[in-house]
Structure 1
């Protein structure tokens, strides 16, 4: 039976959420190759999908028979897959964006702790997330999982461990095989398309009960933990919240959840989209990130002093977010479409302000006890690669601590009524990423060059497309 959906998550609005209790035996991950062979035999697994995220967060990799997987088969991908755009094109070289001259192999190294079944496949199939190393076994610094691992390791050097909890919004939309036509909401169980005004609506979620049950079932079989699920502001817009934990593990979960939700939606004849702004005039989709930092030895939240007051590290972390996130925004808002979400009056911050329980600020401090004191970054959009968005957010906070950055005073009123404090488009955001010298402390320069080159290539591809707005207002008027 599916888990009961219950009332949870207090907030300023009446909240309809769904809760799945933790699974004591999720069947996810093993510790050794010997255990992997046993795990595969016990489940009758025939095929293995060895996957890794590219710069866009798209799963890339290879499929093989399970017998090959456990027999020391060498897995490799060409380095060029980390240098192509979301449309599969290869940008021109620049001073900082270069192709590997021989397009040499990169090796896939399975992380056995991520081994799980693929529940939507008809044949018994498993999947495993892989790290990327070069032919000498060295980590490749520009691959997304390694970018995040680098930032986490910088915290570890200080004796700290960051803790995160992502919230991912997405839309369900009717199938649309013609990109020239706008998207619209699908029909629910009532036979009618859901409309707006369904924020936190129980009826809105119930319209898609069977699909949501499949999301639960697929997630449980993969050992993925959904904390809560709500209906968001837009028509057929949902949000899934994940339990807090290690950044790499949570990025893995977001990576897998996106795939899971798309597959569940396809099973029901509709699409699930993580575009930041899929429908004109409707709210965009965010990936809010809750962040705290604990001392590895004591488990103490370093954002709180022993007496429960906020610590110097807490304020410096916020200062770092304010100072550096605008220059790292392209890692959280990676496409032209992302900046359509970052507009005033659309329930999305367009500032770098912070405040206590203030949803109009970019960086919100939720109401909590001192042990759970945290900072919510409300800027990332759901189209972002979760590894890169987390790396950017945590990296900026760490720079704030390292440089003792002093934040502004907290904002008590609406923060979206003044000027826009963020890049307004993709090219501006790319330039800011390249021009921030402090980023060499947290990101590898080769990653910055490759990522910026790919983003510029995507912008040039976008500029080749003539939009309906141009045909409507320019065709006969200019």
Structure 2
């Protein structure tokens, strides 16, 4: 059909950035959700160029799902959007399949037409159970509920900024073809900061960064990383739920841009042996009345007692929550001390092999950096477990806790055992969701060699939760 008859919404990148930053400002100012909902519904009703609303949500493992609703249908039925939960890994059983999607009008995005299609806007959904409350396996909803409770009761704002690394490989669907090819092909042979203008990696980074900027990410810097064909695009911190949403959007943008360029953006933690893997360094802080509660000029490393208590609780529960931070077979290849791996359960201002690092900071930037996080982990589960553990966890009776010679697991089987045997993870997730998550991880692990060896194996890619499809899973 000729495009001459279509008049779908296509905004410039400048217009998109202005709209997305205005929405972001509303979130920062805690504008009443009823007012935002009214504004968004009016906008959808009045803007004729919009044909569909893309509603996104994430499953228990962190895999992103998207549904396009016709705009007119959504405007009339936004409070009764049902879907089959039994089709989502880790959600309901077939006999209790019906779930609903509520719309988080706070998390509304205007998207570039050349990347996401014309005439579309995007909003994050909240999974709702039959009783009308947050669904226990929707970790976004659990994180949001926890953050709102702390804000209402203590005035705390939970802040996060994540440094998400990835690889760019030749060919579309390079990951899904790996079990046939047995290798990935770099698009760039350079290294840290090493990329010429106009080469494929630089063009990819430039394009993805422009899309992020248009979507209100407020970029800071971008560059090739240490390994060949590796990249990182940094953006500013945000409230904890928005920060987790942005991780999902970051990976979606990178994958879509790479696909349009005939390549694959991969967030496997260690897709290639012999070079540095990809991490998702997670920087967190807590503010109250715009004051950074982690800062104390007179404190050790410029950090407050609250910050050190937060760190000590993370270290105490390091092995308990490791599976939530490193949730794939492949993630344990990255926890290799030969490649700056943060596998030591200790805190340090300088040693990058530490699970927790204390970056140089001031009153504005003082923060805790949890380094032992894989880029393929569920971002909502990561940030929920980090904040709840740091605030509500226990401090163990361990001598020299911050300098202890303890290590994170080097394989997923040990991580699953630690996770299942921990009382703390039951407190975090509840017994039912905890066991569902463990079963999903066990199912992937059982399809892969227990001993990793030195070469990346086909099954650890083929049965990875971000690459999963029913066809590949059925080939086991």
TM-score normalised by the shorter chain: which range applies?
0.7 to 0.9
Residue matched to 1:171: 167
Residue matched to 1:15: none
Q: Secondary structure at the match of 2:214?
A: helix
What residue ranges of structure 2 are gaps of 5+ in the alignment?
1-13, 24-34, 458-476
Task: Give the whole-Å Cα distance in 2 for the aligned partners of 1:81 and 1:251.
Answer: 24
Residue matched to 1:72: 77
Alignment match of 1:121 (pick from 116, 119, 123) = 116
The Cα of 1:149 is off from its aligned counterpart by: 2.3
In the alignment of these two chains, the number of paired residues is 422
More helix by share: 2
Q: Structure 1 residues 362 and 34, CA, compared in 2 at 3 Å: closer, same or farther? A: closer
What residue ranges of structure 1 are gaps of 5+ in the alignment?
1-19, 85-97, 188-193, 472-478
Task: Give the whole-Å Cα distance in 2 for the aligned partners of 1:212 and 1:282.
Answer: 20
Residue matched to 2:144: 149
The Cα of 1:301 is off from its aligned counterpart by: 1.9
Alignment match of 1:299 (pick from 269, 272, 290) = 290
Q: Secondary structure at the match of 1:282?
A: coil
114-123 or 204-213, which deviates more: 204-213
Q: Structure 1 residues 340 and 43, CA, compared in 2 at 3 Å: closer, same or farther? A: farther
Residue matched to 1:408: 400
53-62 or 311-320, which deviates more: 53-62
Task: Give the whole-Å Cα distance in 2 for the aligned partners of 1:126 and 1:265.
Answer: 21
Q: Is residue 146 of structure 2 the alignment partner of residue 140 of structure 1?
A: no
Listed one character per residue, the Cα deviations across residues 164-217 of structure 1 (whole Å, up to 9, x for unaligned) are 111000000011335332443444xxxxxx225x11235389653332332133
The Cα of 1:307 is off from its aligned counterpart by: 5.2
Residue matched to 2:467: none
235-244 or 433-442, which deviates more: 433-442
Listed one character per residue, the Cα deviations across residues 117-167 of structure 1 (whole Å, up to 9, x for unaligned) are 342134322221100111231111221202322442464344422211110
Q: Is residue 56 of structure 2 the alignment partner of residue 60 of structure 1?
A: no
Residue matched to 2:157: 161
When the two structures are superposed, what TM-score results if normalisation uses the length of structure 2? 0.80
Q: Structure 1 residues 26 and 158, CA, compared in 2 at 3 Å: closer, same or farther? A: closer
Q: Secondary structure at the match of 1:180?
A: helix
> Does the aligned pair in 2 maintain the 1:28–1:222 contact within 8 Å?
no
Superposed CA RMSD in Å reads 3.2
The Cα of 1:335 is off from its aligned counterpart by: 0.8
141-150 or 204-213, which deviates more: 204-213
> Does the aligned pair in 2 maintain the 1:162–1:247 contact within 8 Å?
yes
> Does the aligned pair in 2 maintain the 1:37–1:70 contact within 8 Å?
no
- Please give the residue correspondences for 1:434-449 in structure 2 after superposition, counting only pairs within 5 Å: 434-449=420-435
Q: Structure 1 residues 154 and 339, CA, compared in 2 at 3 Å: closer, same or farther? A: farther
Task: Give the whole-Å Cα distance in 2 for the aligned partners of 1:225 and 1:408.
Answer: 40
Task: Give the whole-Å Cα distance in 1 for the aligned partners of 2:159 and 2:337.
Answer: 30
Q: Structure 1 residues 214 and 304, CA, compared in 2 at 3 Å: closer, same or farther? A: closer
> Does the aligned pair in 1 maintain the 2:297–2:303 contact within 8 Å?
no
Residue matched to 1:3: none
Higher relative contact order (CA 8 A, sep 6+): 1
Q: Is residue 238 of structure 2 the alignment partner of residue 245 of structure 1?
A: yes
Q: Structure 1 residues 61 and 267, CA, compared in 2 at 3 Å: closer, same or farther? A: closer
> Does the aligned pair in 2 maintain the 1:36–1:112 contact within 8 Å?
no
Task: Give the whole-Å Cα distance in 2 for the aligned partners of 1:444 and 1:62.
Answer: 28
Residue matched to 1:95: none
> Does the aligned pair in 1 maintain the 2:217–2:236 contact within 8 Å?
no
When the two structures are superposed, what TM-score results if normalisation uses the length of structure 1? 0.79
Residue matched to 1:130: 125
The Cα of 1:267 is off from its aligned counterpart by: 1.1
Q: Secondary structure at the match of 1:461?
A: coil
Q: Secondary structure at the match of 1:382?
A: coil
- Please give the residue correspondences for 1:415-434 in structure 2 after superposition, counting only pairs within 5 Å: 421-434=407-420
Alignment match of 2:448 (pick from 452, 462, 470) = 462
Residue matched to 1:232: 225
